[in-house]
Amino acid sequence: MAANTNPTVRRRRLGAELRRLRQGSGLKSREVAERLMVSQPKISHLENGNRTISPRDVRDLCALYGVTDQLVIDALMEMARESGQQGWWHAYGDIPQSVYIALETDAACVHSFEPMVIPGLLQTPAYAHAIIEETIPPITAEQAATRLKVRLRRQHRIYDPARSLRLWVVLDESVLRRVVGGPDIMREQLEHLNALGAEPHITLQVLPYAVGAHPGLSGQFSILQFADSPDAGVVYLERFTSDLYLEKQSDMQHFSMLYDHLQAQALSPDSTRDLIADASKTYIDAMSRP
């Protein structure tokens, strides 16, 4: 099936679901190991996503946990089959954010707050090239070209008619005012942003300067949710040295609450389009000056 899945991510999510089912059945991992005549560490490795799990293992565990819904069993077995496949990004070698790309590719919905730059999924090629050239420590032209290809390939996810990604983005107004690559690139980028904002599965809001202090001052974050695990999700925090992935329910609730506050303080989608159009005009004016 999907050539765009990440085995580590899939194993982690499948393991978490199996752990939830085991806990719901009231069984301890030791008891499961005894009944299936396997070692207890094997059960722990399966639930932590550290070991490949076969569809047969999934079937046996579901039977032991009393799972009778065939749709649930089939979905879990499909995840087990996919866990050994490689994603499209592996063809590009060792690239940054590969774990996040896997999550993004598999997500049904992403809520993102960006205080500094246009999100990668919404960037034009020229804007993306400028970001890669200007913000990453010195890299070769070949490395820069590879990263640009990966970034643009990620955007296929929002154009896929079969499974369009539901994307909701809140941008700080400074994102519109920060000149990346020059006025011409910014004009093109903002016009592209407004065009994407008109798509039914994409919602854009801008948090204006007038709001003052707000819950997003601590930095960027994204909340990813998945169709086959509606009660689970991942909070992604992009940082300079290492990215963070938070999966606890308490973390999901905390960042969901933050996002609710940001949405409430931000301009409406219609007012956002007007503000983006006004910002675009300033770059047109700048281009017309000698």
pTM of the model: 0.77
**Cα gap 115→174, rounded to integer Å:** 7
Q: For residue 22, what is the DSSP state? A: H
**Cα gap 236→223, rounded to integer Å:** 6
Band (pLDDT 50/70/90 cuts) for residue 3 is very low
Do residues 267 and 229 both lie within one domain? Answer: yes
- pLDDT for residue 26: 92
- pLDDT of 86 strictly over 80: no
Residue 2 lies in a domain: no
**Cα gap 236→230, rounded to integer Å:** 17
With a pLDDT cut of 70, the percent of the chain lying above it is 93
Residue numbers of the domain that contains 186: 100-288
Do residues 50 and 176 both lie within one domain? Answer: no
Do residues 170 and 262 both lie within one domain? Answer: yes
Strands 202-207 and 221-226: unpaired
Band (pLDDT 50/70/90 cuts) for residue 6 is low
CA 83 to chain centre: 18
Tell me how far CA of residue 63 lies from CA of 18, 59, 68, 174, in angstroms.
Answer: 12, 6, 8, 54
- pLDDT for residue 84: 65
Do residues 41 and 117 both lie within one domain? Answer: no
- pLDDT for residue 229: 67
Do residues 110 and 25 both lie within one domain? Answer: no
Q: What is the mean pLDDT of the chain?
A: 88
- pLDDT of 188 strictly over 90: yes
- pLDDT for residue 287: 82
Phi/psi-derived region of residue 181, left when phi > 0, alpha when psi is between -120 and 50, beta in every other case: left
Band (pLDDT 50/70/90 cuts) for residue 40 is confident
Residue 87 lies in a domain: no
Do residues 134 and 54 both lie within one domain? Answer: no
Residue 91 lies in a domain: no
- pLDDT for residue 11: 77
- CATH number reported for the structural domain that contains residue 23 in this entry: 1.10.260.40
- pLDDT of 279 strictly over 90: yes
Do residues 48 and 179 both lie within one domain? Answer: no
- pLDDT for residue 248: 85
Given 49, 82, 115, which residue is the final one in a domain? 82
Do residues 112 and 74 both lie within one domain? Answer: no
**Cα gap 183→78, rounded to integer Å:** 48
Given 48, 82, 116, which residue is the final one in a domain? 82
CB-based contact 288:186 (threshold 8 Å): no
CB-based contact 207:170 (threshold 8 Å): yes
- pLDDT of 236 strictly over 70: yes
Band (pLDDT 50/70/90 cuts) for residue 220 is very high
- CATH number reported for the structural domain that contains residue 241 in this entry: 3.30.870
Band (pLDDT 50/70/90 cuts) for residue 2 is very low
